[in-house]
Amino acid sequence: MTYGRGAAILSAGIGTTGLITFAYFSLASYALPETEYGGITLLWSAVFITVSVLYRPVEQLLSRTIADRDARGVTGNEHLRIAATIQLALGLLFAAAALALRNPLKDDLLGGAAALYWILIATVLAYAASYFARGFLAGHHRFGLYGALVLMEASCRCLFALAVTVGITEGQTAVALGMAAAPVVSLAVVPWALGRRLRRQSPVASRQSPGTAADPEAEAQGEPEFTLARGAGFAAAVLLIMLSEQTFLNAGPLLVKVTEGGSAALAGFVFNVLLIARAPLQLFQAIQTSILPHLTRLRAGGETDPFRRSVNVTLAAIAAFAVGVALVMLAVGPSLMGVVFGGEGEYGRGGLVLISLGMGLYLSAATLNQALLARALARAASICWVTTAAGFAAFLVLVDFDDRLLQVESAYLGAALALCGTLYALYRRG
């Protein structure tokens, strides 16, 4: 499947998933009292920040490694065992931390709801298998099944909220159980992928035994033998990138709330503005998922020109999208934000344009990051991410603007520009 077709299929699947997820929260808000619904949103935030940071590194590791090995004709399953070992270790690390922090998580975060605490643990552990499957499917260019996985996950979760809304069952726990059941049910697509993979394997294909030398084609491409240490190093670098990503997306509202005496209203205002940057990331997941194995295959095949062309076309599309959003914000941004979010606050036109441009730079940086991962430059890329994320947070803490919203908007644009610039310099040098 081509990169363009894969991205289109995933965009449709992830876009539909977003609508179904919106329906889940809409149904839950009608079915539950306000305080119980608040617990559901807190549980959701805790789960998805955790799984994005912990498990996406292994998803990216599998996606890149499988695509590279398939392109070079390398056989064997040691890469799957290594990735599974890393994922299992991350899951156990989370479980140990969650059990050690039981009282703060249960009482401070989840309002004393013991059921939500155990659902949090079960859900995060279940997503370890889900993200492993996503990496496997992306690496093999099974984007249709990847889209089916995330769509089935969202649909299953929504059914739990629907059951409470129509009276089949009741209560906060029933709605929350949908989060734990969803990643388990979505794994139903995996047998289809495994069955097709086994049918495609040649019965006479030779497999490398553990004692044989590294594949000569791999050596020609400068790709070292895949080991646990190398896989863990890649995953650790991507984990740092994921932590930096969460800093860019969540540090603004959190730091504003802390530094402004706990002003939830101002923090919510900042959160609304940053949704201009966050919302496109949902659809951009389709591009991120499909472009990494695509670029990895091109690199393994020594196709330099198609590699650069794919990156350039993606960057041009992002630039056009960002300019379009910026023009809309310049024309009707304040009134549009007022209609969507209501409230008495007033959104500055210039600040909305800054966030729109920053969004384009951030998506461009994410594209360049995938190109660097495909070139096995994860460690160098992670240094760029950590440095700029730390600078972004430091600017919000140490510099005092009278207009805190404008400070966040300016800081986001500046940090996105710095991140995009450093990653582009690394990409050109690489």
Nearest to 361 by CA among 269, 294, 284, 295: 284
Which domain range does residue 392 map to?
242-429
pLDDT band at 205 (very low <50, low <70, confident <90, very high): very low
Per-residue pLDDT at 172 exceeds 50: yes
| One domain for residues 194 and 274 | no
427 vs 219, higher pLDDT: 427
| One domain for residues 31 and 173 | yes
Among 59-68, 218-227, 395-404, the range of highest mean pLDDT: 59-68
For the segment 386-401, the average pLDDT, to the nearest whole number, is 91
Condensed to tens digits (0 to 9), the pLDDT of residues 331-344 reads 998 888 888 766 56
| One domain for residues 252 and 107 | no
* DSSP string computed for 284-308: HHHHHHHHHHHHHHHHHTT-HHHHH
Report the run of H or E that residue 267 belongs to, with start and end.
Answer: helix 264-300
Give Cβ neighbours of residue 174 (< 8 Å, ≥ 6 apart). 160, 163, 164
Task: Give the global pTM.
Answer: 0.85
Give Cβ neighbours of residue 261 (< 8 Å, ≥ 6 apart). none
Residue 197: the pLDDT is 57
Rounded distance, CA 113 to CA 134, Å? 31
Condensed to tens digits (0 to 9), the pLDDT of residues 57-72 reads 999 999 999 999 999 8
| One domain for residues 30 and 173 | yes
Give Cβ neighbours of residue 73 (< 8 Å, ≥ 6 apart). 215, 217
* Tally of helices (H runs) and strands (E runs) in the chain: 15, 0
Condensed to tens digits (0 to 9), the pLDDT of residues 93-148 reads 999 999 999 999 999 888 899 999 999 999 999 999 999 999 999 999 888 899 99
Residue 5: the pLDDT is 78
Average pLDDT, the chain: 86
* 18 part of a folded domain: yes
Burial 138-157 (b: 16+ CB within 10 A, else e): bbbbbbbbbbbbbbbbbbbb
How would you class 351 by CB atoms within 10 Å of its CB: exposed for 0-12, middle for 13-18, buried for 19 or more? buried
27 vs 202, higher pLDDT: 27
Q: State both tokens at 393.
A: 């947070």
Please identify, among 170, 200, 230, the residue that sits at the C-terminal boundary of a domain: 200
| One domain for residues 192 and 292 | no
Per-residue pLDDT at 156 exceeds 50: yes
| One domain for residues 194 and 253 | no
| One domain for residues 379 and 292 | yes
Among 34-43, 88-97, 177-186, 206-215, which is the least confidently predicted range?
206-215
* Geometric angle at alpha carbon 233, from 93 and 10, rounded to 5°: 80
* 221 part of a folded domain: no
* 235 part of a folded domain: no
| One domain for residues 185 and 248 | no
For the segment 31-56, the average pLDDT, to the nearest whole number, is 90
Per-residue pLDDT at 216 exceeds 50: no
pLDDT band at 177 (very low <50, low <70, confident <90, very high): very high
For the segment 13-33, the average pLDDT, to the nearest whole number, is 86
Per-residue pLDDT at 287 exceeds 50: yes
Residue 208: the pLDDT is 42
| One domain for residues 183 and 254 | no
Give Cβ neighbours of residue 75 (< 8 Å, ≥ 6 apart). 69, 205, 206, 207, 208
Using a pLDDT cut of 70, give the percent of the chain over it.
88
* 207 part of a folded domain: no
Residue 355: the pLDDT is 93
Number of domains in the chain: 2
pLDDT band at 171 (very low <50, low <70, confident <90, very high): very high
Residue 215: the pLDDT is 40
Residue 350: the pLDDT is 92
| One domain for residues 315 and 194 | no
| One domain for residues 188 and 61 | yes
Per-residue pLDDT at 254 exceeds 80: no
| One domain for residues 60 and 126 | yes
* 354 part of a folded domain: yes
225 vs 394, higher pLDDT: 394
pLDDT band at 219 (very low <50, low <70, confident <90, very high): very low
Residue 207: the pLDDT is 41
Nearest to 287 by CA among 319, 305, 303, 310: 310
Condensed to tens digits (0 to 9), the pLDDT of residues 325-377 reads 999 999 998 888 888 766 566 788 999 999 999 999 999 999 999 999 999 99
Give Cβ neighbours of residue 414 (< 8 Å, ≥ 6 apart). 392, 395
pLDDT band at 6 (very low <50, low <70, confident <90, very high): confident
Per-residue pLDDT at 307 exceeds 80: yes
Q: Hunting for tokens 């059951």 — which residue is that?
A: 163
Rounded distance, CA 238 to CA 55, Å? 10
Please identify, among 178, 200, 222, the residue that sits at the C-terminal boundary of a domain: 200
Residue 202: the pLDDT is 44
User: Could you tell me how far CA 56 lies from the centroid of its own chain?
Assistant: 7
Task: Tell me if 90 sits within 8 A of 232, measured CB to CB.
Answer: no
Residue 19: the pLDDT is 85
3-state secondary structure of 73: coil
Give Cβ neighbours of residue 351 (< 8 Å, ≥ 6 apart). 273, 405, 406, 409
